[in-house]
Amino acid sequence: MSVVSRWRSLRAQEARLGWALLAPTLIIVFGLVIFPAFFSIWISFHAVGLHNLNDVFHAPFNGLENYKRVVTDFAFKYHSIQNMGAALTSIVYSFSATLLALIGGLVAALLLNKPFRGRGLVRATFLFSYVAPIVSVAFVWRWILDPRPSGVMNDLLMRLGVIHAPMAYLSQRGLALIVVILLDAWRYFPFAMLMILARLQAIDKSLYEAAEVDGANVWERFRYITIPELRFVLGAVFLLRLIWTFNKFDDIFLLTGGGFGTKVLPILVYEFSFRLRDFGRGAAAAMILVAFLVVFIAVYLRFVMRSEEEA
């Protein structure tokens, strides 16, 4: 046996072991994520309801019918600024919530950038809203925002004289969407904070010293050193959070149930599938959601991230 072929068989053995170790993970992920993802494309072109769910592979093909019924659905379409429909609501919701969470995370990271006593504890505290279960967080906020005069928010704002009558924060068109966006920023700013803080701590301190010598004030140092250094992480966090927020179901479902002008695409997918039991139409709505995502990602990588590389 030549040295070369022995070496080859050792390589082959190593490769076999590698695939064997990776196999359980791959089987689970492919079987329960990748395959179902493609399967749902198939479902979106077929008439699948509760009656034939057990025999789904023989469901009749119905072309673009499901898609047509999503796009023309009352809940999907744009009607007016008061009643935007799920597609536009989703876009407004995810862009503003992401932007706010990013700004909140930036402010929080700047607050914690310089050492002070108790900094570690404060940083850990800031993460509470992110690690706590969404169900408890959503229901506490619903209780705080209770529409009766006995709701904490109503009581506080009336005592302060900001409002004169109790408000229904989560069940009034327009206001409900704004409140949901604010609550999302409250929940997800810590993620942005951690990422930004890690980058902030890595900025070369001598840059600031040099700028100070040159007479740059606080704002100028922030504008011309901090922001450019953070550019990449801000861009990446924005895209990641945008994708996740766009896919988010729990938060809005638990806060408003998707009512009062807060019906986003994931809620619509859920309603088509599990309220109307029209799985084909649900899958078609999910595909439309994915199409939006693909467009965001493509536009983002092509224009935003590229111009950052050049800058």
Task: Give residue 173's region: left, alpha or beta (phi > 0; psi -120 to 50).
Answer: beta
- Residue 46's SS3 state is strand
Site string for other proteins, 23-62 (x = CB under 8 A): -xxx-xx-xxxxxxx-xx--x----x----xx-xx-----
- Taking CB under 8 A as the binding criterion, the range among 8-16, 68-76, 168-176, 301-309 that sits at the site for other proteins is 8-16
Q: Restricting to residues 74-93, which ones interact with other proteins according to CB under 8 A?
A: none
Residue 276 engages other proteins in binding (rule: CB under 8 A):
no
Please, which residue, 79 or 250, has the CB nearer to other proteins?
250
Radius of gyration of the chain (CA): 25
Per CB under 8 A, the list member of 64, 163, 198, 299 interacting with other proteins is 198
Q: DSSP letter at 305?
A: I
Per CB under 8 A, the list member of 64, 124, 301, 304 interacting with other proteins is 124
Q: How many residues contact other proteins, by CB under 8 A?
A: 90
User: Is 254 within 8 Å of 138 (Cβ atoms)?
Assistant: yes
Residue 220 engages other proteins in binding (rule: CB under 8 A):
no
Residue 195 engages other proteins in binding (rule: CB under 8 A):
yes
Sequence-ordered list of residues with C-beta below 8 angstroms from that of 274, at least 6 positions apart, any chain: 282
Per CB under 8 A, the list member of 247, 259, 300, 305 interacting with other proteins is 247
Residue 4 engages other proteins in binding (rule: CB under 8 A):
no
Residue 17 engages other proteins in binding (rule: CB under 8 A):
yes
DSSP-assigned beta bridge partners for residue 46: 61
**How far are the Cα atoms of 18, 32, 37, 139, 296 from residue 76, in angstroms, in the given order?**
47, 29, 22, 27, 19
